[in-house]
Amino acid sequence: IDDDMAGTIAWEHEEYKCTEQPEDHYEHFTVSRKNGCRNRLVCKYTTESDTAIAGKDFEPTSGTVVFEDGVVTATVSVKILARGRYHASECFRVVLTDIEEGQGAKFDETTDGGSDSCIMTVQIVSCQKEMERIDMLMKNLRSTWDKAKIGHANWKDQFTAALFVNGGEDHGEGEEEEAPTVKDKVMHVVTLPWKVLFAFCPPTDYCGGWLCFCCSLFMIGLVTVIIGDLANLLGCALPFMENEITA
């Protein structure tokens, strides 16, 4: 370092890649002062939108970079906004301009921006861990949805079996379809209310079978109450029956 010169200003990295975080966070970029560190040096900086939009992907920022006498590095901080990117990347620029203090200081002509400015391109990329977490959630949702579709089909089949004689069974290819007998039709009419009632009990595909278990207990309790009341009514209608028989 030549202590007698103001120095040349440049970004430590012309291209910078940062990873999006679950919450808003600050990224810190280093500005270097090369080939001299004499006197105080001040220049301006500002952010510029590209595919990343100010206020949406990052917080627009501007200010001044100050190098005190003998200082060779300074830091610029920009707030990166969490947006839930998935397999996406956006970029924006941070530009150094207008050297206000530091006689003889200049921007590095070999970098982006030439002698008038110094430009750093910042790329915001998706977080790999967040993408893996989203992929796992989507996989679980697809699995749950597939199970739900099977459950819907099974529940529909329960009502079909309840409403049609002999359950409306489909016969395989080459099998002769047997017409329901009179007995089948009579029993279907007699048991139809109970078939329809118990068809509302969901299949075991939901909630790991617990919903079916709880509904089944409720149905059993309901049938027990109905049968108990009918038994009491029968006991009232037939006076020769004792309570011990109908209880």
CB 19 within 8 A of CB 127: yes
DSSP, res 78: E
**10 Å Cβ neighbour count for 28?**
9
| Cα–Cα distance for residue pair 43/236, rounded to 1 Å | 102
| pLDDT tens-place string over residues 196-230 | 888 888 887 777 778 888 888 898 888 888 888 88
Strands 62-67 and 15-19: unpaired
- Per-residue pLDDT averaged across 166-191, rounded? 71
CB 123 within 8 A of CB 91: yes
pLDDT tops 60 at residue 247: no
What average pLDDT does the structure give for the chain? 83
The pTM assigned to this predicted structure is 0.56
pLDDT of residue 239: 67
pLDDT tops 80 at residue 144: no
Which of 107-111, 117-121, 140-144 is least confident? 140-144
